[in-house]
Structure 1
Amino acid sequence: MVKHEHDHPMLQQALIWAAAAVEPAAEVLAVKRLEGGVSSLVYEILLQLGEAQRAVVLRLFNNEDWLRDEPELARHEARSLRMAAKFASVPTPEVIAFDEHGSVSGIPAVLMSRLAGEVVLAPPSMSRWLDHMGCALAAIHQAEADPGEMPWTYFRYCDGSKLDTSAWSSCPEQWQAAAAIVTQPEPAGPSCFIHRDYHPTNILWEQDQVSGVVDWVNGCIGPAGVDVGHCRVNLVMLHGLEAADEFLAAYCRHAGDAFAYDPYWDLVSLIDFAFWEPEVYGGWTALGVTGLTRDLMIERLDDYLLQLLRMKMEGG
C-alpha cells in the first residue's frame, strides 16, 4: 500500500475498502490530503484500474464529538449527495460507497467521485465570483426535492439566549439585542433543500465557472435564508461587508420571487459564529489566505452585527 505523510490509524484499512468499492482489483497509486476542511479528513486517491487511472475522494469522519452527536454522518452525506445529484442543477460529487459505522472501512467514511476544479478565495473578479456563487446557491434552492426523501431537517446549532460576547466584542449590548431577536418566533416562509454549510471553501471553480459544490454532510430541508446567511458571514470575515452585500444582491437576482430576504436569518447565522471568540478560519490559511487577523475578524463581525440591527430596525 502506498505511503503518505498524513496518516490516520484507520487510513490504510479505509484505503483498502475504498479501492475495493471502486473495483475489486483496483490499486492505490497515490493519496493526497485535501486542504480546507477542519471537521473531517478528506483525501484524494489515485487508483489504477487495469490500464486506466481514476481519482476519487474519501472522507473520513474522525471527529468523535461530532459523531457522538450525529452518529449517522456518513449516511447523511451520502443521502444529501444523492438528493443533490437528482434534484439540483449544480455539479456535485457522485456517491460511490459509504460505511456509516466503519464496520469495513475502520472509520465512518464516504467515497465519492472527484470533481474538476479548485477552491478560489482570491478571485480575479470579485463581482463575477460573487454572482456565480449566488447563482449556484439559487439553483440548489430551486431543486424540487421531495422532503420525504430527506429525513434531516434544519435545526439551530446554538441557543441565542446563552450568548455572551463580553470577552471580545466592543459592543456586547448590541449582541444581546441580536440574541433577543433570534429567540423570537422564526419568520414564516417556505422550506427547501439547503446545503447548510454553503461558503467559499466548499465551492469549486474551473475557468471562472462554478464546477462543483462539495461537503454535503449537513444537507437538509430548511429555510433558504440559513444558507444565504451562513455564506454571508463567511464572506464578511474573509472579504468584508461589501462582498457579503454583493453576494446577497446576486442571490436575490437569481432566486427571484422565490426568496424574500429577512435579516433574521443573517442574525441567526452570525450568532452561530459568536459563541466562540473569533479567530481566522484554519481552512482559509491552509489554502493560502494571508493578511487576516483575530482583531480584524472581531471588527468585521461587530460591524456586520450593527449593520444587520439597523436593517432590522428599518424593517428590512
Structure 2
Amino acid sequence: MSDHEEAGAVRPSALAWVGRHLAAGERVVATGALHGGITAEMRRLTIGTRDGDTRHLVLRTFVDPSFVALAEDLLNREAGVLALLAGTGVPAPGPVAVDAAAAHCEYPSLLMTHLPGRTVLDDRGLEARVPLLARQLVAIHALRPAERPREYRAWTTADAVVPPDGADAAAWAAATDVIRRPAPGYEGRFLQRDFQPGNVLFDVVPRSLAGPRITGVVDWVETCWGPADLDVAHCSTNLAMLHGPVWGLRFAEAYEEAGGVLAAATGERLYWRLLDALGFAGQMRWVARPWQEAGRTELTTRTVEGRLDAYVTALLDALG
C-alpha cells in the first residue's frame, strides 16, 4: 500500500458503519485523504450507486487523544449545526450520521455530504476572493436560529500569550495589555467561529467566464453566538498570515462594504482583532502545516510568525 493509499484508508469498523448508512445497493468503492484539517482526519469516500454512477461523502474522525476526549461534544454540536443550516442558503454539508462516542467506529466520527469546489490559498486572484469571503460571512451572521448556539469562548488570555521569537516585544506587550481589559459589550450574532480561507470552497472558473464563486463553507465544530467582530478578526488574522498583513487589514473593510456591522468604537474593534491574533502565538507549526500540504511550501513556521508579528504591529498602528 502506498503512503497516499494508507493516508486515505478508512478503518474497518468505520467502513462498516458507513455502509449501514448508504442506500440499498450502494457501497464504498474508494477513499482518499482530504488535506487541510488540523484537529481531525478528513476522508472523501466515493460511493458506487446502484445505477453504476458515483457520489461522494466526507468522514471526519478525531484520533488525537487530546481531541478524542472532546469529540462527543464537538461532533454532536457540528451535526446539529449542519442540520440547522439546511435550507438557509448557506452552502454547508448535510449531516448523514454521527458516532460521537465511538460506539460503532474505532474513533469518534461524523459522516456528511460532500460539497463541490476546493480551497484556494494562492496569492493570485485574492483581490477577487476577499469580497466573496466578506459577503459570505455577512450572510452567516444574518442567520437567526430558533435556538441559539452556545456563547463564544476566548481562545487565549493575556497571561497565556507568548510572543514569537524575534517579535516586537513592545508591540506585543501593548497588544497584551489591550486584551487584558474586560471584553466589550456586543450585539450577538451567529458565528461560524473558524471562518477562514482553509474552510471555504471555491469553484474557480476561467478568467473569461464569471469568476470565482463560493460553493461551500466547512468545519462548523466551533459554531457559537458572539460578536461579528470575532469572526471578522479570525478571517483577518488568517489572511494576514497567508497573504501578508495588508490583507488582514483589508478584510474588515470588505466586510463593512458587504453590509456587515462591526463595533462602533475603534478600541473595541482593536480588542477583538488582537484577541484573535494573539491566540495564534505558539500555534504556528500547526497553523502552517496544512497550508504547506496544500502547496504553500514557502509558508514556514518562521515566515508565518513574522507575518503575525507584523500584523499585530499594523493593528496597533491602525486602531491603537
Task: Give the TM-score normalised by the residue count of structure 1.
Answer: 0.89
Measure, in 1, the Cα distance between the counterparts of 2:31 and 2:300.
32
Pairing 1:158-237 to 2, within 5 Å after superposition: 158-165=156-163, 168-206=165-203, 207=205, 208-237=212-241
Deviation at 1:136, TM superposition (A): 0.7
2:62 corresponds to: 61
Whether 2:259 is the aligned partner of 1:243: answer no
Q: Are the structure 2 counterparts of residues 240 and 153 from structure 1 closer, same or farther at C-alpha, using a change threshold of 3 Å?
A: same
The Cα offsets for residues 224-262 of structure 1, whole Å up to 9 and x where unpaired, read as 111111111111111001222222211111134466471
The Cα offsets for residues 236-291 of structure 1, whole Å up to 9 and x where unpaired, read as 11100122222221111113446647121110001110144667611111111132
Whether 2:128 is the aligned partner of 1:128: answer yes
2:38 corresponds to: 38
SS at match of 2:145: coil
Measure, in 1, the Cα distance between the counterparts of 2:286 and 2:170.
21
Measure, in 2, the Cα distance between the counterparts of 1:240 and 1:258.
22
1:78 corresponds to: 79
Deviation at 1:123, TM superposition (A): 5.5
Deviates more, 1:167-176 or 1:180-189: 167-176
1:300 corresponds to: 307
Q: Are the structure 2 counterparts of residues 257 and 223 from structure 1 closer, same or farther at C-alpha, using a change threshold of 3 Å?
A: closer
Would the aligned equivalents of 1:46 and 1:53 in 2 still touch at CA under 8 Å? Answer: yes
Letter in 1 for 2:317: R
The Cα offsets for residues 20-74 of structure 1, whole Å up to 9 and x where unpaired, read as 2122542110000101112100100011221142211111111221232454121
Pairing 1:136-175 to 2, within 5 Å after superposition: 136-146=136-146, 148-150=147-149, 152-165=150-163, 168-175=165-172
Would the aligned equivalents of 1:20 and 1:26 in 2 still touch at CA under 8 Å? Answer: no
Q: Are the structure 2 counterparts of residues 276 and 59 from structure 1 closer, same or farther at C-alpha, using a change threshold of 3 Å?
A: closer
Whether 2:7 is the aligned partner of 1:6: answer yes
Would the aligned equivalents of 1:27 and 1:47 in 2 still touch at CA under 8 Å? Answer: yes
Measure, in 2, the Cα distance between the counterparts of 1:130 and 1:225.
16
Measure, in 2, the Cα distance between the counterparts of 1:127 and 1:118.
18
Measure, in 2, the Cα distance between the counterparts of 1:139 and 1:169.
39
The Cα offsets for residues 95-121 of structure 1, whole Å up to 9 and x where unpaired, read as 111111010123211111110101111
SS at match of 1:225: helix
Would the aligned equivalents of 1:28 and 1:45 in 2 still touch at CA under 8 Å? Answer: yes
Letter in 2 for 1:219: T
Would the aligned equivalents of 1:230 and 1:266 in 2 still touch at CA under 8 Å? Answer: yes
Would the aligned equivalents of 1:168 and 1:277 in 2 still touch at CA under 8 Å? Answer: no
SS at match of 1:32: strand
List alignment gaps of at least 5 residues for structure 1. Answer: none
2:208 corresponds to: none
Letter in 2 for 1:131: P
SS at match of 1:5: helix
Would the aligned equivalents of 1:192 and 1:224 in 2 still touch at CA under 8 Å? Answer: yes
Would the aligned equivalents of 1:56 and 1:112 in 2 still touch at CA under 8 Å? Answer: yes
2:209 corresponds to: none
Would the aligned equivalents of 1:264 and 1:312 in 2 still touch at CA under 8 Å? Answer: no
Letter in 2 for 1:220: C
SS at match of 1:284: helix
Would the aligned equivalents of 2:68 and 2:107 in 1 still touch at CA under 8 Å? Answer: no
Deviation at 1:214, TM superposition (A): 0.5
Measure, in 1, the Cα distance between the counterparts of 2:299 and 2:99.
38
Letter in 2 for 1:266: R
Measure, in 1, the Cα distance between the counterparts of 2:5 and 2:299.
31
Task: Give the TM-score normalised by the residue count of structure 2.
Answer: 0.88
Moved over 6 A (4+): none
